[in-house]
Amino acid sequence: MALQSIPTNPDTRFLEFMEKSKAIEGERLAAAIPRAYLEPELWRGLLGFAMSWTLYAGSIVGMAVLHRWYAIPPLLVVAGLGGWGLHCIAHDCGHGSFSRSRRLNFIIGHISLLPLAYPFHAWRHVHNLHHGHTNSLELDTDWRPIPEAMYRRMSRRDRLVYMSTRTWAAWAGTITYWAESGFRPSYFPKRQMRHDVWRSILFVAAVLVPYLAVLAWCTGWQGVLLYFVGPWLATHAWFSITTLMHHSAADVPYLTQEYWTRNASRLLVTTDYMYPSWLLFLTHNISVHTAHHVAPVVPYYNLRKAQAVLKDAYPGMVREEKVSVGKVIEIVRKCRFYDPISGLYATTPMERVPVDERGRS
């Protein structure tokens, strides 16, 4: 059931957001993007796939060959970057923008998510729910905040998971989604979804169980931790921080059913963080994310061009910021709970702005 009459006293930033939402109501946002930008080029997708596998596997080989403690941290970061790049390739596969072949998309998607031990169809179906309900307070599956009153009613374990992944363990937030839905076909409402997920689980088990057994035989449990678990955690760190920053900001609301609109969820709720060119290249432009929400079928190598078109078509609507460590710290400090008074985020009750001063601070 929708949360009616919330927010009770909207912040001025919430009201400004709603004005923008009304301004684009009924617009065909994706029509602004030329059809040529929607066409996949298989060779470019395969090059990105090969590059990310090279980063991931090359880093693991480097740790094994160098065998120096001081080389491990930077190589784990690079391995995580390679694993995250592979996730970004799977991301295109899930949206059908890697190639025109549905079968090839599914094959590459399954292979690309092996470093995360993530069954492809489980991720695909959950991710499509996110796209269908981005920043919906009731239905979004990614980083959805809850009111503090609801948090207080949760079990101690659930409170620990929620608060830690919003603060000091934000780097591990996506692990909770993986654990919740990755291996639970019953999580999905439709029979075909459950069938898809079972097939993906069997694929992951068929590949990773013998691989990890051989790795343990050859390198011991220390090798399993160093060459698989370590890169797995590093990949989740890239995954978690990137997705947290996409849709979390002090002035971007999660919306109840009475305020949520599809166009606003596509154009207004994403912040695009401008990486250095080399990092944009290695992460397959994943931070150029508004264009992706407007038209998920845009291949990763066309996202920057699609974004430029959207900025021209809808001036002042696309949010862009330069990426910084300070911004990550600001998000984990301020974006913890949904505030049913302002309609925005709250940190703790003691830090909220008094009602009679809201909008003047």
**Domain range enclosing 221:** 40-357
Q: What distances in angstroms separate CA 323 from CA 196, 238, 272, 292, one per listed residue?
A: 37, 14, 9, 18
Number of compact structural domains in the chain:
1
CA gap 17, 23 in Å, rounded: 10
Q: Could you give the maximum distance between any two Cα atoms of the chain, in Å?
A: 66
CA gap 133, 168 in Å, rounded: 27
Please report the pLDDT score of residue 360 as a whole number.
Answer: 40
Q: What distances in angstroms separate CA 353 from CA 9, 39, 359, 360, one per listed residue?
A: 12, 48, 9, 9
Asked whether the beta carbons of 254 and 90 are under 8 A apart, the reply is no
Asked whether the beta carbons of 104 and 97 are under 8 A apart, the reply is no
Residues 139, 142, 148, 153, CA torsion sign: positive
The total of other beta-carbon atoms located within 10 Å of residue 354's CB is 8
CA gap 23, 26 in Å, rounded: 9
Comparing C-alpha atoms, which of 58, 84, 92, 70 is closest to residue 279?
84
Comparing C-alpha atoms, which of 103, 84, 83 is closest to residue 93?
103
CA gap 22, 25 in Å, rounded: 5
Residue 160 counted as domain residue: yes
Residue 53 counted as domain residue: yes
Asked whether the beta carbons of 285 and 301 are under 8 A apart, the reply is yes
Residue 277 counted as domain residue: yes
Please report the pLDDT score of residue 330 as a whole number.
Answer: 93
Asked whether the beta carbons of 288 and 277 are under 8 A apart, the reply is no
Residue 249 counted as domain residue: yes
**279 Cβ contact list (under 8 Å, min separation 6):** none
Q: Which parts of the chain have pLDDT scores under 50? A: 1-3, 349-361
Please report the pLDDT score of residue 1 as a whole number.
Answer: 40
Tokens 């019953």, residue located: 186
Residue 2 counted as domain residue: no
* Single-letter amino acid code for the residue at 132: G
Please report the pLDDT score of residue 2 as a whole number.
Answer: 46
The total of other beta-carbon atoms located within 10 Å of residue 30's CB is 16
Please report the pLDDT score of residue 361 as a whole number.
Answer: 37
**Packing angle between helix 42-66 and helix 102-112, nearest 10 degrees?**
20
Tell how strand 271-274 and strand 319-322 pair up: parallel
Q: Tens digits of per-residue pLDDT, 111-138?
A: 999 999 999 999 999 999 999 999 999 9
CA gap 148, 129 in Å, rounded: 24
Q: What distances in angstroms separate CA 198 from CA 122, 129, 202, one per listed residue?
A: 9, 18, 6
CA gap 299, 294 in Å, rounded: 13
Residue 268 counted as domain residue: yes
Q: What distances in angstroms separate CA 328 from CA 127, 170, 334, one per listed residue?
A: 23, 10, 10
Q: Tens digits of per-residue pLDDT, 308-341?
A: 999 999 999 999 999 999 999 999 999 999 999 9
CA gap 196, 193 in Å, rounded: 5
Please report the pLDDT score of residue 168 as a whole number.
Answer: 94
Please report the pLDDT score of residue 6 as a whole number.
Answer: 86
* Single-letter amino acid code for the residue at 86: L
